[in-house]
Amino acid sequence: MLYYITELIRRELHPPGFGLFRFITFRAGAAAVTALMIAFWVGPKVIGYLRNHQIGESAKLEAPTNHLSKAGTPTMGGLIVLAATVIPALLWADIKNGYVLLILFTTVWLGAVGFVDDYLKVVKKKPQGLIGKYKIVGQIIAGLVVGGTIYYFPGAMDSTLVKYSSSTTVPFLKNTEVNFGLLYIPIVIFVITATSNAVNLTDGLDGLAAGTVGIVAVTLAVISYVSGHAELSQYLTIPFLRGNGELSIYCAALVGATLGFLWYNTYPAQVFLGDTGSLALGGAVGALCVLMKKELLLPTLGGIFLVETLSVIIQRLWFKYTRLRRGKGERIFRMAPLHHHFELEGIPEPKIVTRFYIAAILFMILSLATFKVR
């Protein structure tokens, strides 16, 4: 919105300094600062409202016993992150850009799905919240919209996208792409659904999910800027996607929003993301990788989310296998997801979160290295 206003002022009045608003780097920085300010302003108001209306986390029997003390902590704090991400993106990004419209749709839509889930659990006191199949339907709809738009209407998004409408790049390999053909839309649905659920599983310790998503968002901001820059993309031999650089403004807003949210979410947390935040953030990460044609980079980029999800899958499969073969289910981890295993090993929660941050930064470095090591 501000992008068009400043462009109009610049063309009509020619004031000095207004040319800055044309640069993506300037608008990305402005979006990050705006997001941080919104999170700081909205945060106490949302937390106060949730606390006054007793919208708090229920005791989780499936978590370690030390988590029982967290019962009653305000949840649905994802509203803070959503406001601090969407508003700056609307203000500073090109809102006519197809990439921006799709990522905003994904964020708001999955945030709404998560909100309904939280509302049913916390306000209506339904332990299961939104029935699992309905939650999956919501995620599938997001994937259908994103995948269908790219596959059937690539020209409406970006003329350079036509060539890559059903393909993606391969990490570490130069000038190599995989064309999924008719499988492209199901793959997009899988990526968005899987990433959304993976971040939801990761959201088990104070500051873990929000901080990790913030680190991933920094990486994605760099990737989107390079993908939308003709010279840099040619130098790194990756597909040039005209207009993709606008996604770096959204990513910068996401970084600012997660940083602002961490002010209230670090140990001991004053508020939790809830499904409102975790489903939206996870879906946004998956959709960003799709929009940047970096779907195959996601296992490296989101290494923390992958490990957390695999720990749950391995735990369940091994338990079912041993129960079937030996009559008694056995566990590989003391508890899954993996962060709970480390908790039961006696490692303090803040130390686990910090170490996961370090691992996420290493994954970030590895992901960026794939653009040069080819």
CB contact at 8 A, 149 and 185:
no
Q: What percent of the chain has pLDDT over 70?
A: 93
17-74 tens-digit pLDDT: 556 777 899 999 999 999 999 999 999 999 999 999 888 777 565 667 777 777 788 8
Q: Where does residue 342 fall: left (phi above 0), alpha (psi -120 to 50 degrees), or beta otherwise?
A: alpha
Inform me whether the pLDDT recorded for 193 exceeds 70: yes
Q: For residue range 137-172, what is the model confidence (pLDDT) as tens digits? A: 999 999 999 999 999 998 878 878 888 888 998 888
The two structure tokens encoding residue 300: 């490296």
pLDDT beyond 70 at 374: no
Q: What whole-number distance in Å separates Cα of residue 189 and Cα of residue 168?
A: 15
Nearest to 270 by CA among 82, 61, 39: 39
Per-residue model confidence as pLDDT tens digits over 220-231:
999 999 999 989
Nearest to 274 by CA among 87, 55, 107, 32: 55
How many other CB atoms are there within 10 angstroms of residue 290's CB atom? 26
Distance separating alpha carbons of residues 209 and 339, to the nearest angstrom: 11
Distance CA(239)–CA(134), nearest Å, equals 36
What letter does residue 70 receive in the DSSP assignment?
G
pLDDT at 175 exceeding the cut of 80: no
Q: How many angstroms separate the CA atoms of 58 and 73, rounded?
A: 8
CA distance 232 to 16: 29
CA distance 139 to 106: 9
pLDDT at 7 over 90: no
What value does the mean pLDDT of the chain take?
Answer: 90
Q: Position of tokens 């053909």?
A: 181
pLDDT score for 325: 87
59 secondary structure, DSSP code: P
